[in-house]
Amino acid sequence: METWLTGLTPLSFLERSAAVFPDKTAVVYGRSELTYRELSDAVQQRARALRAAGVRPGDRVAYLMPNIPELLIATFAVPLAGAVLVAVNTRLAPEEVRYICDHSQARVLVADSVLAVALAPIAAHLSTVESIIIAADPEGPPAQGTIPNAVSLSELLAGAAADPAGEEAAPAWAVADEHATISINYTSGTTGRPKGVMYTHRGAYLNALGEVFHSRHDEHSVYLWTLPMFHCNGWCTAWALAAAGGTQVCLREVRGDTIWQLLDRHGVTHLNGAPTVVTAIMNAEQAHPVDRPLLVTTAGAPPSPTMIQQAEQMGLRLVHVYGLTESYGPYSVCQWQESWGAADQETRARLQARQGVGMIQAERLRVVRTNTDTDTGDGELVDVPADGVTMGEIVMRGNNVMKGYFRDEAATAAAFAGGWFHSGDLGVMHPDGYVELRDRAKDVVISGGENISTVEVEQAVVSHPAVLEAAVVGVPDDRWGERPKAFVILRPGHTATEVEILAHVRSRIAHYKAPRDVEFVTALPKTSTGKIRKFELREKEWTGHQRRVQG
């Protein structure tokens, strides 16, 4: 590369916006605001403070923090210090946090003062962390308890500010190697240890630009942080908004009442979240139709046609994207087609519920089977027919997939068998080139030798007007091995019997796919990002049975 070329890094976006929009509001949180100049200053201060705390280029710095400005600042400050951000899921148990700190070999752990109490049991047992830094949240509730030997971020900042000279004074908004790791995001795998997914400066830059395009971000964007920042670095959205020069609204807790207050107060134009989050927002007590453009990007599970219809009626523009931690968050988008406008609402919603096509910066999606015949090419990836029926595994590659799993070459090699990243998701390719997710490989129900997509069954269940949310899992069946079972939350004020729901489902999908049982529940177990923990539902049902079909 010529010396005058520069490496791709999302740091350049903040450098630019701080120069171009110095007095524009970059961050809002409660009663406090930061302009782009102030955000840039805060980022540089933290970078200097981290250096002063002993952080060296390539070191990992773990953060345990909700969606508050300090974590947003860290998304830039840690890479600006030349280090690697490890944003830890705030809902993990202390032992899980310890595992991630140890596995990532974090040198420093920065914790929110309110969440820090959860570190007490593990603080003395972290094998690589040399400093625990506690960041007070002036807008948050009072902290409880203290961590021995922890230092406060404010003291560290004061110390760094007192010594502004020298090499540490002005870290460069540039990278020597754009393939350097910018962050490690640990998967929320429901089985086994989480894996550390490495993002690069280049990948983060390109993904952010892709999101700017598909979400139509510009300097008028007001983005509400309903998606956890620790999840895929918030789908790279902090970087995308800095690129566009928009405003980011932080919030400590994702609650319906807070969300609607912020939506209305700040004229929010964009938010992201799993369908369960979007459902919660749309069904909050304070929910009301909006009369300004509000683009809601959803992923993590296919939005049900019912949800898409409801969003449309409320004036929300729903954009459905799909991806994994390994793909920097979104990789594909269900690109709207003009011709869909002529379809009836239900057909439209079905088309929109598909996972779609690769984003502008991504490669295409493929749906493949692996050819294991040693005569014709061992391990070759063969595309399934684009018939909307034949299931295969969804694979991806290009700049929008991770560099690899940190300290796990075997898992990296396995994930990239055949040169493409294996998502573990099963889907079909439609004749129009749109991919539709049928199931996580581990969630599919195999009944009498037939694959049943639990997603398809769930969509049939949720289309019943009395149903708010549903989850379908395979349960033991003496004859068929497994059969689908539905767990259902009814809408407040609505009633429906098991018989009514089953009759409705059978009117929409093949009988062999329909559940035989419906269990009415008031809540479903969910991950911190709003995905339903089907694993837990299955465990309960399979206790005492031998799992014959899948592990």
- Nearest-CA neighbor of 392 among 367, 417, 415? 367
In whole angstroms, the minimum distance from the beta carbon of 357 to a second copy comes to 5
Taking each helix axis from N to C terminus, what angle separates 454-462 and 305-314, rounded to the nearest 10 degrees? 50
Length of the chain, please?
551
In whole angstroms, the minimum distance from the beta carbon of 128 to a second copy comes to 26
Pick 12 or 297: Cβ nearer a second copy? 12
What residues pair up with 296 in beta bridges, in sequence order? Answer: 271, 318
Measured distance CA(398)–CA(201) in Å, rounded? 14
In whole angstroms, the minimum distance from the beta carbon of 8 to a second copy comes to 7
Pick 4 or 344: Cβ nearer a second copy? 4
Pick 210 or 302: Cβ nearer a second copy? 210
In whole angstroms, the minimum distance from the beta carbon of 383 to a second copy comes to 13
In whole angstroms, the minimum distance from the beta carbon of 237 to a second copy comes to 16
Pick 198 or 452: Cβ nearer a second copy? 198
Left, alpha or beta for 344 (phi > 0: left; psi -120 to 50: alpha)?
beta
Pick 19 or 161: Cβ nearer a second copy? 19
Measured distance CA(367)–CA(436) in Å, rounded? 10
Pick 333 or 452: Cβ nearer a second copy? 333
Q: Are strands 517-520 and 222-224 parallel, antiparallel or unpaired?
A: unpaired
CB 331 within 8 A of CB 322: yes
Indicate the SS3 state at residue 89. Answer: coil
In whole angstroms, the minimum distance from the beta carbon of 154 to a second copy comes to 31
Residue 479 CB coordination number (10 Å) = 7
Pick 320 or 485: Cβ nearer a second copy? 320
In whole angstroms, the minimum distance from the beta carbon of 179 to a second copy comes to 6
Pick 3 or 546: Cβ nearer a second copy? 3
Burial label, 53 (beta-carbon count in 10 A; 0-12, 13-18, 19+): buried
Per the listing, tokens 């708010």 go with: 468
Left, alpha or beta for 221 (phi > 0: left; psi -120 to 50: alpha)?
beta
What residues pair up with 422 in beta bridges, in sequence order? Answer: 395
CB 90 within 8 A of CB 115: yes
- Sign of the Cα torsion 547, 189, 94, 224 reads negative
In whole angstroms, the minimum distance from the beta carbon of 262 to a second copy comes to 22
Indicate the SS3 state at residue 306. Answer: helix
Pick 49 or 197: Cβ nearer a second copy? 197
What residues pair up with 471 in beta bridges, in sequence order? Answer: 487
Q: How far is CA 67 from the centre of its chain?
A: 13
Pick 272 or 332: Cβ nearer a second copy? 332
| Reduced DSSP (H G I as helix, E B as strand, rest coil) percent helix, strand, coil of the chain, to 5 | 35, 25, 40
Pick 20 or 158: Cβ nearer a second copy? 20
Q: Which residues bind a second copy (CB under 8 A)?
A: 1-6, 8, 12-13, 15-16, 19-22, 24, 179, 209, 212-213, 216, 218, 243-244, 335, 337-338, 357-358, 360-361, 363-364, 397-399, 401, 403-404, 416, 419-421, 433
CB 132 within 8 A of CB 149: yes
Indicate the SS3 state at residue 42. Answer: helix
CB 222 within 8 A of CB 249: yes
For the chain, state the CA radius of gyration: 24
In whole angstroms, the minimum distance from the beta carbon of 364 to a second copy comes to 7
